[in-house]
Amino acid sequence: MKKLPIGLSDFKKLIEGNYYYFDKTNFIAV
């Protein structure tokens, strides 16, 4: 089961540690 990345901001650790990743790119106002 994947973990929630609470307090984690390192993308490499996020991917290697089997965490959920939420891409919020579409929510950025331009």
Which 3 state secondary structure label does DSSP give 19?
strand
Overall number of domains in the chain = 1
pLDDT tens per residue, range 1-30: 888 888 888 888 888 888 888 877 887 777
Angstrom distance (rounded) from CA 29 to CA 5:
24
Angstrom distance (rounded) from CA 28 to CA 4:
22
- Here the tokens at position 12 are 């490499």
Domain range enclosing 10: 1-29
- DSSP code of residue 26: G
pLDDT of the residue at 26: 81
Which 3 state secondary structure label does DSSP give 9?
coil
pLDDT of the residue at 21: 83
pLDDT of the residue at 23: 79
- Here the tokens at position 5 are 């990345």
